[in-house]
Structure 1
C-alpha cells in the first residue's frame, strides 16, 4: 500500500541556489520558444511543471525522508528539467520520454546544466502496467513505443524515487502502477498542478 507523506506548505519558501534558479528560468524561456513555434505540430501531452516548486519539494524530501537508494527516474521527462535538477541534488538519474523531439530538448537541457544523467526513448510504464488502467483513454496509455526498462537494463523496483506529472484524472493510475511495480520503501513524487505536489512511500 501507499502511505502519503505530507509536504509542508512552507516548502515553497525553501531557498533555491541562484545558479539553479537561473537554469530553471532559462529552461522555461526555451520551453516558451518551443511552444510558440508555428512550423511544427504541437505536442499536446507536454505541459511545463512548476520546476522551482518541484526542486524545493525534492530537496525537502531528500533532507527529511529516508530513501532506499540514489536511483531516480522521471516518467515522461520532456525537457528533462526535473531530471537535471535531481542530478544537481546528487541523485543517479534516468529520464524516460516517448517523443523524440522532446528527447532532443532534454539533451540540450543536460548540456546547459552540465550534469550527468541518462535519457532513454521509450514507454515509462512497466510491461503489463496498462492492464491496471480503468480508463483506456488515459494519456499515459497513448505511447506506442517500446518498453524503456529493457533498454535501461533495470526494472522499476530498482529505483528509489519516481517522479511523475500525471494528466488530470490519471494520478490514481500512476499511484496504482507505482504500488504494483515499485520496490518496498520507494518514494513517488507527483506534480499534480499548481501548489499540488504529492509524496507517497510504498510500504
Structure 2
C-alpha cells in the first residue's frame, strides 16, 4: 500500500543554487522555443513542470526521507530536466521517454547540462501494467517501444525514487503501477500541478 508523506508548505522557499537556477532558466527558454514551433513537431501536448519546485522537493527528500538506494527514475521524461536535477543531487539517474521529438530534446539536455543520466527511448510501464487501468484511453497506455527495464536488466523494484508528471486523471493509475511493482520503502514523487507535489512511500499492507 502507499503511505502519503506530507511535504512542508515552505519547501518552495528553500534556496536554489545559482548554477542550478541558471540551467533551469536556460531550459525554460529552450522549452518555450520548442513550444512555439508546434507546426514542426508532434509534441504539441508537452507541458513542462515547475522545475524549481521539483528541485526544492527533491532536495528536501534527500535531506529528510529515508531511501532504500540511490537509483532514480523519471517516467516520461520529456526534456529530461528532472533526471538532470536528480543527477545534481547525486542520485544514479535514469529516464525514459517514448516520444520521438522529445527524446532528441532529452539527449540535448543531458549533453549540454552536462549530466550523467541513463536515458532510454521506449516504454516506462512494466509488463502487465496496462491491465491495472480501467480507462484504455489514458495517454500512458499509448506509449510504444521496447521496455526500458528489459534493456537495462532492471525491474521497477530496483529504483529508490520514481518521479512522474501524470496527465490529468492519470495520477491514480501511476500510483497503482507503483504500488504493484515498486519495492517496499520506495518513493513516488508526482508533480500534480501548480504548487502541488505529491509524495508517497510503498509500505507493507
Q: Normalization by structure 1: what TM-score?
A: 0.97
Per the alignment, in what secondary structure is the counterpart of residue 167 of structure 1?
coil
| Cα shift at 1:45 | 4.1
Q: Alpha-carbon deviations, 1:62-95, whole Å to 9, x = none?
A: 1000000000000001100000000000000000
Output the CA distance in 1 between the equivalents of 2:156 and 2:38.
Answer: 37
Q: State the superposition RMSD in angstroms.
A: 1.0
| Partner in structure 2 of residue 143 of structure 1 | 143
Residue 128 of structure 1 corresponds to 128
Aligned to 2:29: 29
CA contact 2:157–2:182 (8 Å) conserved in 1? yes
**2:64 paired residue number:** 64
Contact 2:59–2:89 (CA<8 Å) still a contact in 1?
Answer: yes
1:101 shift after superposition:
1.9
Counterpart in 1 of 2:50?
50
Q: Which runs of 5+ in 1 are unaligned?
A: none
How many Å separate the matches in 1 of 2:45 and 2:154? Answer: 26
Query: Residues 81 and 109 of structure 1 are in contact (CA less than 8 Å); yes or no, is this contact kept in structure 2?
Result: yes
> The residue matched to 1:137 in structure 2 has which SS?
coil
Maintained 8 Å contact 2:41/2:101: no
Aligned to 1:107: 107
Asked if structure 2 preserves the Cα contact closer than 8 Å seen for 1:45 and 1:139, the reply is no
Once the two structures are superposed, what CA deviation does each residue of 1:141-186 show, in whole Å capped at 9, x if it has no partner?
1112221111111110000000000001010000000000000000
Q: Does 1:86 align with 2:86?
A: yes
Match of 2:158 in 1: 158
Tell me, in whole angstroms, the C-alpha distance in 2 between the residues paired with 1:193 and 1:32: 18
CA distance in 1, matches of 2:132, 2:42: 29
Match of 1:14 in 2: 14
Between the aligned partners of 1:114 and 1:104, the Cα distance in structure 2 is 15
Alpha-carbon distance between aligned partners in 1 of 2:36 and 2:94, rounded to the nearest angstrom: 28
Contact kept in structure 2, 1:77 and 1:96, CA below 8 Å: yes
Aligned residue pairs total 203
2:169 is matched with 169
The worse-fitting range, judged by mean Cα deviation, of 137-146 and 40-49 is: 40-49
Distance in 1 (CA, whole Å) between partners of 2:39 and 2:191 is 30
Does the aligned pair in 2 maintain the 1:35–1:42 contact within 8 Å? no
